[in-house]
Amino acid sequence: MTTVLITGANRGLGLEFARQYAADGAEVIGCCRNPAAADKLADLGVRVEQLDVTDAESVARLCVALADTPIDILIANAGFYGPEAQDADLADFDGFIETFRINSLGPLMVAQALKLNLMGGRDKKLVVITSKMGSISDSSGGFLAYRSSKAALNMIAHGLALAWKKNGIKVAILHPGWVRTDMGGSSAPQSVSESVSGLRDRIAELWPGSSGHFIDYQGNEIGW
Ligand SMILES: NC(=O)c1ccc[n+]([C@@H]2O[C@H](COP(=O)([O-])OP(=O)(O)OC[C@H]3O[C@@H](n4cnc5c(N)ncnc54)[C@H](OP(=O)(O)O)[C@@H]3O)[C@@H](O)[C@H]2O)c1
């Protein structure tokens, strides 16, 4: 049985990942900041674990709870769109740093902490949910905290793909499209189910030759 661990699994894309993998018979470990309020995740009947990706103690507690449980697919999905003020002329710097802590450093902290669990898994797939908004070559500007945190995430994930190749770990750097979630808003063109089923196809076809590539949920390569 495939074991999939998902961060930010209580709503949005993370919840849909949990729903689809559970429906396929995978063993899902859904992580969220506040399990007591994660009713939709609990209703799926999956294992729920507390995890704030910015909190080293929370990450350490998750490691203890998992012990040597093998993880086939680790999906670093939790994300934050950033503070109100994040533009060229006005920036909320504390909010900026929080955005980096969630979007850039969070996935690295979780991946490092669970590396041995991933190495013990069959698939050894690390998935980071990034955004096309992290592309410098295809940017219309604005939203500097979010964009730069995802650009940093892309570099970190690319670095992990290079460094952990020797450990057999493959890294997918995936853009989900513009999706109707709390973050994406109601006018986004893609549904969560459409996005996540595309992302799952990309995860299924991930192999050493595609590790470290920046692609969207439909498999199109995105410029850095
Ligand atoms: N929706 C889009 O159009 C779109 C486009 C490109 C990329 N993405 C990326 O896709 C991923 C999922 O986005 P979404 O649209 O599903 O967003 P969402 O609906 O806003 O959900 C964000 C999730 O991240 C969790 N989270 C935030 N900070 C966290 C922390 N410190 N520790 C643990 N969990 C935390 C939230 O938990 P709480 O409920 O506790 O806040 C929530 O579960 C994000 O990485 C996002 O950047 C989304």
CB-CB neighbours of 123 under 10 Å: 20
Give me the pLDDT at residue 109, please.
98
Give me the pLDDT at residue 50, please.
98
Amino acid letter, residue 209? G
Q: For 175-210, how does the pLDDT look when each residue is reduced to its tens digit (9 = 90+)?
A: 999 999 999 999 999 999 999 999 999 999 999 999
Low-confidence ranges of the chain (pLDDT < 70): none
Q: For 97-119, how does the pLDDT look when each residue is reduced to its tens digit (9 = 90+)?
A: 999 999 999 999 999 999 999 99
**Helix ranges restricted to H, 67-191:** 93-100, 106-113, 115-120, 144-163
Whole-model pTM above 0.95? yes
Which strands, in side-by-side order, build the sheet including 214-216?
47-50, 27-32, 3-6, 73-76, 125-129, 170-175, 214-216
Give me the pLDDT at residue 124, please.
98
Q: Which residues have C-beta atoms less than 6 Å from ligand 1?
A: 7-8, 10-14, 32-34, 51-54, 77-80, 102, 129, 131, 175-176, 178-179, 181-184, 188
> Which residue has a Cα nearest atom 37 of ligand 1?
8
Gap from CA of 90 to ligand 1 centroid (Å) = 24
Give me the pLDDT at residue 39, please.
98
Give me the pLDDT at residue 11, please.
98
Give me the pLDDT at residue 201, please.
98
Task: Write down all domains in the chain, each with its CATH number in brackets.
Answer: 3-216 (3.40.50.720)
d(CA 5, CA 191): 22
